[in-house]
Structure 1
Amino acid sequence: MSKKWISVLCVTACASSSFALNLSELQGERRVEFRSPQGLAEVCVVPKKWPGASYRADDVEKENDLCSYDFHTNMGICPKYTSTNPAILLLKPNASYSKAAIDASNCDVKKMNVKTEAKFKQSVTCSYTPAILAYYPISRILGNVGRVPVAVIRSMDRDVHSRQTDKAIAHFQNSADEIKYSWNAMGKVHKNPANYPTVIDGTLSQIYGALSDNIKNEEQYVEVSGKGSYDTRYERFLQQPPFLKVSGSQTVEQMLGTKDFATVAQTVTQMKDVSDLVLLDTLMNQQDRIGNIHYKFYWYAANPSTQKIERMKSEAKWVGNQLQVPQAERDLMAGKQAALIKEMVLKDNDCGIVKTNMMRRVSALEKVRHMSYNTYRRFMAFERTLKDAYTKDYFMKEMLFTSSDYGVLVGNASKAKQILLSKCQAGELIFDVDLETYIPGATKPSYRCDL
């Protein structure tokens, strides 16, 4: 099935719900209101935190940033012209381009050299608002797996969004680009708003969706996704060296011939990221991950005295086929047990929950042999909570899940638990990709399957 047909089918499915959202009922952990030029009260809602989840130190800062962005005063807005799904880009004005100049431009973002701070997406084409929202807390519940960007609930005056949609449709009038059909689908939403309750609020005056932080300066993680046909992308993923390591029976030490921190750091981190990715996407019914995997460079240094990993952002970058690492960084890491690491970033999380579960289709989790014990135990604890009324209420109120959406999550988690527990009890799951266990002097932890 081509991406184009996926888009057409998804907009039909998204329009079939009887759900109608009352924006005034959304409270979350924090709620901010903005006034549109027509006087409508647009909202930004920060969903409540999940107790005990591993939220990052800067998550609250990112949430506050997202809920400080005003479509009408402090941020330029443009329709997105790249990839396959429609979105509104929030662009930061600079000395060359004011908000008014950005809004009046032809939205050639690269030419303007303005920073995209956030993306506003809805449940149209392959995108689904609850998927974007839920990836954020579930990634933190599992220990910040995938380094998923922060996302909040946001609404926009429908008249304002309609003008952005018209601008995009006009831009692609004579184009054959895939996203043209997605913007045309959004145009149908504005012509018949009452037919799209998963996109338009109950008053039919506002469009709503997820506003997510835009990760910058990331690179495509091609060695994990591979290159080739879109139709066989998941089968290709299973044959790439990173997944073959994760699905292999050799331990990390057997693969590399050492447990030296600096030597194993990249391999262990990559293997953990890949197995985490498979579990997370299995839970979330992800349909379109392969080809949408990214990374950023960080330095990891082992500190034996604290038994912790010290992490530092790197300015390393590719120039052609050569990786250029600042000499100042090399000097700083000299003499340390340190390695330059590719940290996986899962920034595109919109095509989930009500979509085709591609990881389950190719039985990816069944093939996983290496996993982080931290991820395993956190998942097992989370799966137990899915039977609680509190958990269902959380996902329906904070993530905008329907009862059917929640049933999908529960079913996927139950299947994942069955797979992982049986593999662990059979001795077919190797817990050797927690990098902290490779710090010199680290004690070997004890493992239990039935947590």
Structure 2
Amino acid sequence: MIQNLCATIACFVAFTAPAFASDAVKGAETLFSSPNGLTERCVRIISIPGGEYSKHDLTDEAAYCDIDLHAPTVALCPKTWSTSPGTMIYDVRNGPYANNRSEFERNACKEGKSASALAGDTLAKFKITMNQSGTSGTFSASPLLYYHFSRYFGTTVKVPVAVWRSTDAKTHASEVAQPGLALSGHNHGARMNHEGWRYVVEAEQNPGIYKPTDDIFTADRKQIYGVLLDSPGHRYGSEINGTRKSGWGKGQNLDFQETPAFLALRDASPLDQAINAGLKRGRQNSQINKDLGKDVSPQQMAFWMREISEIVLLDFIFSQQDRVGNIDFTPYYYWLESDELTHKRAKHHAPKDGDVPAGAQLLRRTNLSDNDAGGRVQYANFAKSTQMLEKLRHFDAEVYRKLMALDRDLQAQGPIWQWTASSLGLTESQISQIVKNTKLATDILRSSCENGNLRFDLNPKRFFETRQVTADNVTCDGA
């Protein structure tokens, strides 16, 4: 398997990151030629040591790196909604603009989000870094960090696959960025999106105006780079994202901690009691109570608690500054079959599938679809500043052991440190921040463990199958 080419210690060599690593990424490459004769790269980043990648992960990686951005059956549209600029990539082999790339881009792209309904399929989204005055903070290495480290931790929260991609800056400027600037100017309320496109247009004309230039341009300054990914999902309301009444920053991150699942995580009682207490306290807020709906099962709460604990850990390590309000879900049916938990994806707002048993529970499984505001030293780490990890009283045993092992590796500059330093194009300061944050997260959770304040009982699968609430026995050093 391509992903396992460098999964052993022998594959790594001593490495010191340059001041600006830029496009110095490592993995399996697929090459494309732009209309201007430039060689573009799509890179499936080397797998993180100890990571487990599903067949679906590998299939998605391969599919992204099969996309020729200049093919006549592929159309590109500027993303003019939300806060950050991006490029939507559509398959136009079918639909009203079948095999007519130029007509789709000229007419359908004006429809914004609705352009997807005019295409045969949405293939991916191309996201670049954008951190200039008046724009929304995004960092293209961040989705790569979340993808690969989530596979190391074996998270239950679903994190989308991401691959690295470069593309001809001149072609992107005329086909995507300039239309993006023009179209976003008519999108009321998307000021940051419009400013983002303005910087992209100006930088593609003169790369030196964007600082640091290496953040969006390859070393030859002829291509921009970012990530390809797809991030489907439905946005949670206040039941998970919080009320956000206290405004952006620390305020809404403290609001987030008043949601039922987070309140349950903060409750030191056994799991079943913590679930009941979290639901009761959370429902005291009228908006949260409305968004929760009438019936929330203990099984749903157990999944939410596990997923949120994982989100907090990843966001802490990567200094994520824009999580609250960006947590999504995908609905699934869950049921027991011969005492084993079985599930099937459900259609949103659709009747129950005929082959799903009558007693199946419809659960919302959490997606981290938006992971582009982590990894930079300049970002505000709200999981850290609002002490989210310190407040956790429930955690998963295996995730805890993985964290302890990760810290030992990073401190010793072992295989995972070598991978982090050499595979993702990070700078020395960015690598150092991950090492420091991992150490601090380890110290916080180990202290909670040693003081008897952490129950290792976040196993939602076991809870669903047996309603078992007995905590696992874990040594605090994670050995």
Q: Given the two structures, how large is their TM-score scaled by the length of structure 2?
A: 0.81
SS in 1 for 2:40: strand
Asked if the contact 1:55/1:144 (under 8 Å) is kept, the reply is no
2:219 corresponds to: 202
Asked if the contact 1:301/1:311 (under 8 Å) is kept, the reply is yes
Residue from 313, 316, 322 that aligns with 2:345? 313
Q: CA offsets per residue over residues 301-321 of structure 1, 9 Å max, x none? A: 33555xx5322111242xxxx
Once superposed, what is the RMSD of the aligned Cα atoms? 2.4
Asked if the contact 2:268/2:274 (under 8 Å) is kept, the reply is no
Q: Percent identity?
A: 28
Q: CA offsets per residue over residues 200-237 of structure 1, 9 Å max, x none? A: 1111111011111x233533353111233334221211
- Counterpart of 1:215, as a letter, is S
C-alpha distance in 1 between matches for 2:344 and 2:65: 27
Instruction: Give runs of aligned pairs for residues 92-111 of structure 1, distance below 5 A.
Output: 92-93=91-92, 94-98=94-98, 99-105=101-107, 107=109, 108-111=111-114
Change (3 A) 1:256 1:204: closer
Task: Report the CA distance between 1:172 and its aligned residue.
Answer: 3.0
Instruction: Give runs of aligned pairs for residues 11-410 of structure 1, distance below 5 A.
Output: 19=20, 21=22, 26-28=25-27, 30-73=28-71, 74-93=73-92, 94-98=94-98, 99-105=101-107, 107=109, 108-112=111-115, 113=117, 114=119, 115-125=121-131, 126-163=137-174, 164-173=176-185, 176-178=189-191, 179-194=193-208, 195=210, 196-212=213-229, 214-227=230-243, 228=245, 229-231=247-249, 232-255=251-274, 263-303=297-337, 308-317=340-349, 324-326=350-352, 328=354, 332-334=356-358, 338-354=360-376, 355-387=379-411, 388-410=413-435
SS in 2 for 1:211: strand
Q: Which moved more, 1:62-71 or 1:123-132?
A: 123-132
Asked if the contact 1:120/1:209 (under 8 Å) is kept, the reply is yes
Task: Report the CA distance between 1:106 and its aligned residue.
Answer: 5.2
C-alpha distance in 1 between matches for 2:130 and 2:172: 14
- Counterpart of 1:377, as a letter, is R
SS in 2 for 1:265: helix
SS in 2 for 1:386: helix
Q: CA offsets per residue over residues 336-370 of structure 1, 9 Å max, x none? A: xx422111000111111111111111111111111
SS in 2 for 1:152: strand
Change (3 A) 1:436 1:304: farther
SS in 2 for 1:58: helix
Q: Which moved more, 1:267-276 or 1:384-393?
A: 384-393
Asked if the contact 2:142/2:371 (under 8 Å) is kept, the reply is yes
* Equivalent pairs, count: 416
SS in 1 for 2:67: coil
Change (3 A) 1:242 1:325: farther
Displacement over 6 Å in runs of 4+: none
Task: Report the CA distance between 1:389 and its aligned residue.
Answer: 4.4
C-alpha distance in 2 between matches for 1:327 and 1:183: 43
Change (3 A) 1:55 1:39: same
Q: Given the two structures, how large is their TM-score scaled by the length of structure 1?
A: 0.86
Q: Which runs of no fewer than 5 residues in structure 2 stay unpaired?
A: 1-17, 132-136, 277-295
Change (3 A) 1:244 1:65: same
- Counterpart of 1:205, as a letter, is K
Change (3 A) 1:180 1:353: same
1:11 corresponds to: none
Q: Which runs of no fewer than 5 residues in structure 1 stay unpaired?
A: 1-16, 318-323
Asked if the contact 1:287/1:352 (under 8 Å) is kept, the reply is yes
